[in-house]
């Protein structure tokens, strides 16, 4: 019996995807990178304390720009590099100036180290809070209702002991 299935095209019930932009924060990746950099650099303080500072500063300065570059934000990456290299130096200078203003001989060096340390901590925090966002397409929301197939076919079925119809659909 040569029956051709009856194809019934149905109008699409899916809504056309809307292209809305949302702002996404990816600063958590910088936080993970800086945490990993500190974990890598910390054992160096037990080996040789002189290695701890430069390695920590280098890793902390380059992790945030690498995160920006990996997201395709070249300008933000170079801005982040300038921030993470320059801000600790500026803060060390401010600390040294404050130490000189206090008039103690040993205070400018200690104040410069303290100011630089604050800069090392503050630069990534500023980076994460200000630079670590991007505009992306919002994910399409799935319809909460049942989506009907676009094409339905009714196919006859026969066997030695049964006769019937099969309903087939394509989304």
The tens place of each residue's pLDDT in the chain, 171 residues long, gives 556 666 666 555 555 555 688 889 999 999 999 988 888 777 776 776 666 677 777 888 899 999 999 999 999 999 999 999 999 999 999 988 888 887 766 666 888 888 988 998 899 999 999 999 998 888 766 655 666 666 777 777 787 888 877 777 766
Is residue 131 a contact partner of residue 76, using CB atoms and an 8 Å limit? yes
User: What residue spans of the chain are helical by DSSP H?
Assistant: 27-47, 49-70, 74-102, 107-126
Q: 143 - beta bridge partners?
A: none
- The pTM for the full model equals 0.63
Task: For the chain, report the end-to-end CA distance as a whole number of angstroms.
Answer: 28
């Amino acid at each position: 019996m040569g029956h051709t299935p009856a194809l019934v095209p149905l109008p699409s019930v899916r809504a056309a995807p809307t292209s809305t932009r949302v702002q996404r924060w990816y600063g958590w990746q910088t936080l993970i990178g800086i945490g990993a950099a500190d974990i890598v650099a910390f054992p160096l303080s037990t080996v040789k304390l002189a290695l701890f500072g430069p390695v920590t500063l280098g890793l902390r300065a380059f992790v945030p720009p690498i995160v920006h570059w990996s997201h395709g934000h070249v300008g933000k990456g170079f801005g982040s590099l300038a921030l993470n290299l320059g801000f600790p130096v500026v803060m060390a200078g401010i600390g040294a100036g404050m130490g000189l203003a206090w008039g103690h001989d040993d205070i400018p060096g200690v104040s410069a180290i303290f100011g630089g340390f604050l800069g090392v901590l503050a630069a990534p925090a500023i980076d994460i809070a200000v630079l670590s966002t991007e505009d992306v397409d919002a994910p399409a929301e799935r319809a909460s209702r049942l989506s009907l197939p676009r094409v339905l076919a009714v196919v006859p079925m026969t066997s030695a002991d049964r006769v019937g119809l099969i309903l087939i659909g394509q989304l």
